[in-house]
A = this chain, B = another copy of it.
Amino acid sequence: MFETAELGRTLDKAHYAKRVPALRTELLELQERAREARLPIFILINGVDGAGKGETVNLLHEWMDPRYLSAYAFGAPSDEERSRPAWWRYWRALAPKGRIGVYFGNWYTEPIVGRALRRLSKDAFDAELTRIKSVERALVDDGACFVKLWFHLSKKAQRDAYHELRSSKRTRWRVTKEDLKNQRRYDRFRDVSERALRETSTGFAPWTIIEAADARYRNVAVGDTIVAAVRERLDHRPAARPSAEQRPPPTDGRTILDTVDNTQKVGDKRYQKRLEVLQGRLHTAFEELKAQRRSAIAVFEGSDAAGKGGAIRRVTAALDARDYRVIPIAAPTDEERAQHYLWRFWRHLPGAGRMSIYDRSWYGRVLVERVEGFAREEEWQRAYNEINEFEEQLVRHGTVVAKLWLHIDQAEQLKRFKEREQTSFKKFKITKEDYRNRAKAGLYVHAVHDMVERTSTDVAPWHLVAACDKRFARLDVLEHLCRRIEEAL
């Protein structure tokens, strides 16, 4: 695979001087076009040490408009990063739409180094590559352009490069002890890298191998590759297919919500007693989870007036207010809109020993955004898979994920709307939109059914809560949370 990058290609000074101005103009023009088109560009810089990766980052700062370009490097993770799923640090560094992110020391580095040094088994390595592919796929689906550059040097060229740098006092700092150590493992790194490139050179995010021995040749190759990739993406942006008209659910079809027994009730006395018991139990369970330096996520979904807020308050009352955060999901900010829709959820992931309670969540993509047509069909269709992978990463990290759908029927909802309008301090909760949404109840039921079908997984199952009786619902919510945490301990 790397033989094609050991041809000894060079570019002489005169040709370089002639090529560069045009290349820079092209890069700047494309950067400007990408900005207007709100295209996010991810440039990955990987490859052999000593091949000029750092210099290339400087070069890109020089050749392009640095105001819309940011470089990210990842060393050892901070404790905030360690206390969240591994990909959190990458999500927090994703370039927003219209900008360029240059990543070196990126998500390929750890798996490759880990495998080369045999810290990672072959299976774990392959699993990591698969994970990378699906994240890149999700970003490309969302409109991103990937330029993945692999800088290659032959064994001899690497040795020569180090030798030259070390021969001058002024540049010898550029070669570290670790560089020299890894040099001895050149062949092993080469094999592992080859596998990584082969596995992750996908149609939507291919690798380009850059012969890096000659700086001038390398620079022009980098520029050319970026120009070609960005231009291709700008000229052939996949057209958004119009969404099909939302079909109402089959009129006499039963859905998963019909399995919810909403006749269940709890009397006030029993409720008060059970509430205290369950809150104590939840507190104890969560303290144990905290002691294990793990975190929890509770997702509350349900139709309007289903009692999410009331249930959440019974949960938070059992917790130390230092430990939880209630995250109500409303309209995204412009920083959030400039990212993949999952970004805003990654952003607020709880650290070790914390619980994030989402009042509505990433499921908005397949519920309200689907029903109201805010997301195109291809977008919400692929969201099921993206969500499953997101939650799988959470669970693999040790986070407890509990997902609750609070179900009330149409009659109960209307009753609650009317009640709220009678209570002065609850009026603010009822708007015209709430009534309008009722007309789409059938579509929502259908969407919930699909959601449960597609995202109730082994690691993160949905729990449907009969919510017509508020007391019953609150106890059920608490009990489910206790169970989820206790099972995970």
Contacts and interface: CB of A to CB of B under 8 A. Distances in A.
Interface string A137-170: 0000000000000000000000000000000011
Interface residues of A, number: 59
A331 B20 CA distance: 31
A55 to B, nearest CB: 8
A425 B21 contact: yes
A99 to B, nearest CB: 11
Given A27-B425, A66-B359, A171-B280, 4 more contacts: A21-B424, A22-B424, A58-B321, A66-B309
A160 to B, nearest CB: 21
Contact of A58 (B22, B63, B75, B313): B313
Interface string A410-426: 00000000000001110
Contacts of A58: 313, 316-317, 321
Interface string A65-80: 1110011010100111
Q: Could you tell me the dominant secondary structure of chain A's interface residues?
A: helix
A444 interface: no
A330 B35 CA distance: 14
5 contacts: A58-B317, A61-B313, A104-B322, A170-B277, A333-B334
A323 to B, nearest CB: 8
A85 B439 CA distance: 53
Contacts of A24: 424-425
A322 B425 CA distance: 53
A105 interface: yes
A284 B321 contact: no
A287 interface: yes
Contacts of A258: none
Closest 7 CB pairs of A and B: A24-B425, A73-B322, A67-B328, A57-B321, A54-B321, A25-B424, A170-B280
A80 B80 CA distance: 7
Contact of A428 (B32, B328, B359): B32
Contacts of A75: 322
B79 A173 contact: no
A425 B321 contact: no
B169 A322 contact: no
A28 B171 CA distance: 64
